[in-house]
Structure 1
Amino acid sequence: MGMLALYIKSFSYKQGYPLDSSMHGGGYVFDCRSLPNPGRDPAFRSLTGLDSEVIQYLSKDPLVEEFLSRSIALVEQHVRVFLDRNFDYVSVAFGCTGGQHRSVFCAESLCASVRENFDIQVSVEHIQLKAMGFL
């Protein structure tokens, strides 16, 4: 087997769950809809989870901090086990209502943490941002 690869996706629940192209199933799907929604504030509506204003808004919320702490810890535990077992693939998806703010921010936060803590291949795909023309 090759090096472990982590595939992270953000998506909109309105558009449905993302497909898992690995054909093995598994992985994690985290529901970000319980987090504060920047999209309800007109100042953030046209922005995304990649924009500094949205990042600052979400980063300062204790609920977001706890959600990310727990989800990142769970995924990183999974990565350690998969590395020990010589697996080559793990998938993680973050969903929110529109796939524009919360799920994007969370996907990017996981990506940054894993890249800091592990020497593995990590890719991020923002499905709804791509569909909306932001990327």
Structure 2
Amino acid sequence: MSLTIDIHSFSYKKGGIPKDETGNGGGFAFDCRGILNPGRIEEYKAQTGCDVGVQEFLETKTEMPKFLSLVKEIVSINIDNYLGRNFEHLQINFGCTGGQHRSVYCAEKTAAFIREKYPQATVTIHHDEQPQLNNK
């Protein structure tokens, strides 16, 4: 039995916090709207959190590195616990205004962190507002 971790990026304006379809009815929901929005800057409007320019902006011009560091600490507590207790599912959600920049970035970076630290877990990403980024 292994732990499956579903990570969602979403929009608070469009759909709200994704429902946990496993029946566990829980998980984390992190609000990224406290981080400066690159979507308000013309050159980044059409981009997503997967684009290098947006990533560099978030990493150098905002509090995103500190925010993500804390997120990683918090989710690691649960992942360690869940693995030790043979839990099967954890959902982690990142929301921002449009579900395009900050939440996508956080979902991608958190997934990479978990895959590296916990290779025994299965990680899936769902970009609810940016379906073209799914399965990349």
Distance 1:62 1:49, change over 3 A: closer
Return the letter of the residue paired with 1:3: S
Give 1:61 shift: 3.7
User: What's 1:123 paired with?
Assistant: 124
Alignment: residue pair count: 132
User: What's 2:8 paired with?
Assistant: 9
Distance 1:19 1:106, change over 3 A: same
Is 1:56 paired with 2:51? no
Alignment of 1:1-135 (within 5 A): 2-15=1-14, 16-61=16-61, 63-119=63-119, 120-130=121-131
Return the letter of the residue paired with 1:77: I
Return the letter of the residue paired with 1:24: N
Hey, what's the Cα distance between the residues in 1 that align with 2:92 and 2:82? 14
Ranges in structure 1 where 5+ consecutive residues have no aligned partner: none
Hey, what's the Cα distance between the residues in 1 that align with 2:47 and 2:62? 22
Hey, what's the Cα distance between the residues in 1 that align with 2:11 and 2:24? 22
Identity %: 40
Runs of 4+ in 1 over 4 A off after TM superposition: none
Hey, what's the Cα distance between the residues in 2 that align with 1:42 and 1:4? 40
Hey, what's the Cα distance between the residues in 2 that align with 1:68 and 1:32? 10
TM-score (norm 2): 0.93
- Alignment root-mean-square deviation, CA: 1.2
Give 1:134 shift: 5.9
Return the letter of the residue paired with 2:36: P
List per-residue Cα deviations over 1:5-64 (Å, max 9, x = no partner): 110000000122212101111110000000010000000000000111111111124511
Hey, what's the Cα distance between the residues in 1 that align with 2:62 and 2:37? 14
Ranges in structure 2 where 5+ consecutive residues have no aligned partner: none
